[in-house]
Amino acid sequence: MLLIRRRVPLTASQNILFSVCNLILAAAVFPVSPRPLTAQQQRPVLSTEEQSITQQLRGLRGLPDDVRATTTKQLALQIRKLPVTANKLRLAAGLASLATEGDFGRDTLQEVAATLAQALRELPVPPDGDQPAMAYMELAQLVRYEHVQATLDSPQYAAAMSKLEAADRVRQHADFTLTDLQGKEWTLSKLRGKTVLVNFWATWCPPCRKEMPDLQELYDRFKEKGFVVLAITDEDAAKVKLFVAERHVTYPVLLDPGRKVNELFQVEGIPKSFLYDQRGNLVAQAIDMRTHKQFLEMLALAWLK
């Protein structure tokens, strides 16, 4: 999942720079503003407690899921008690970006959202041109897609929610045709009558790799009931073929070399999944990696059990 959600297509170097998958939590989690930073801003001075929190954020992915859930909740409470600084907002938004990589419980996500909302109330940040700043988008996604509560009287937060609603309207009516690794064309609109999970991923993304075995198991389990997984990547075909073969992935893997479908779905961070029922209605979506249990909960919304 990209830590900084850019609103224009990223180059390969920008993807590396801004991806949590490459752990850019070296000093602070991400810049509050997307504007170019000075050398001094790029190396923020962290207090001892901020350094400790940063180190724990770096290590979150290496923890067992139950320990990660407890640690994430504790970090949210620790960050909430920090003095009001730009570092506090960086850490709060960075934790929010990592907290959706799996199923760590509603209580944990609620604490994460409350911490980020508090940090934004204490230190509002300017818009990114005519768009809401990334931290507001992060909070809006938690509320809209993870179904937690947050109180924030801010025009930028309202704009962020409106932006997400508009994106969902586009996704509801989206259509595309892409070719898989075997040269077969797949068109979304021609799959009416089937339950279709559109999954955006990449070989370099740890959360993407983590959820793939569960996607494969669910595909094997439900494909005879009309379940289709369309896994979309913008990477080179040769690299993807080798990766898929090594992991014995058998669901369709589609190539999007020009990122046209990524842009159509407004995918600025991965993994992301969109579930369409047999009538072609968008019934569920995931803003990050999902566990086997979470995928099952999504499929139940399409009456697939």
Using the 3D structure, point to which of 168, 188, 218 is the last residue of a domain: 168
Residues 33 and 162 in one domain: yes
Using the 3D structure, point to which of 149, 168, 187 is the last residue of a domain: 168
Q: Quote the strand ranges of 46-194, DSSP E.
A: 177-180, 185-187
**Residues 286, 192: Cα–Cα separation, whole Å:** 21
3-class SS of residue 63:
coil
Residues 239 and 276 in one domain: yes
Q: For residue 35, is it within any domain?
A: yes
Confidence (pLDDT) at 93: 96
Overall domain count for the chain? 2
Q: Which residue has the higher pLDDT, 305 or 290?
A: 290
In this structure, how many other beta carbons lie within 10 angstroms of the beta carbon of residue 106? Answer: 11
pLDDT above 80 for 41 = no
Confidence (pLDDT) at 3: 37
**Residues 71, 272: Cα–Cα separation, whole Å:** 24
What pTM value is reported for the model?
A: 0.83
Q: For residue 240, is it within any domain?
A: yes
DSSP collapsed to 3 states, 179-215: EECCCCEEEHHHHCCCEEEEEECCCCCHHHHHHHHHH
Residues 115 and 257 in one domain: no
Confidence (pLDDT) at 42: 55
Contact at 8 Å (CB) between 208 and 221? Answer: no
Residues 125 and 208 in one domain: no
pLDDT tens for 190-218 read 999 999 999 999 999 999 999 999 999 99
Q: For residue 6, is it within any domain?
A: no
Residues 67 and 201 in one domain: no
Contact at 8 Å (CB) between 29 and 97? Answer: yes
Confidence (pLDDT) at 268: 86
pLDDT tens for 83-125 read 999 999 999 999 999 999 999 999 999 999 999 999 999 999 9
Using the 3D structure, point to which of 168, 189, 212 is the last residue of a domain: 168
Question: Domain containing 251: what range?
Answer: 177-300
Residues 32 and 148 in one domain: yes
**Residues 44, 61: Cα–Cα separation, whole Å:** 23
Residues 22 and 126 in one domain: yes
Residues 27 and 90 in one domain: yes
pLDDT tens for 137-187 read 999 999 999 999 999 999 999 999 999 999 999 999 999 999 999 999 999
Q: For residue 7, is it within any domain?
A: no
Q: For residue 5, is it within any domain?
A: no
Confidence (pLDDT) at 43: 61
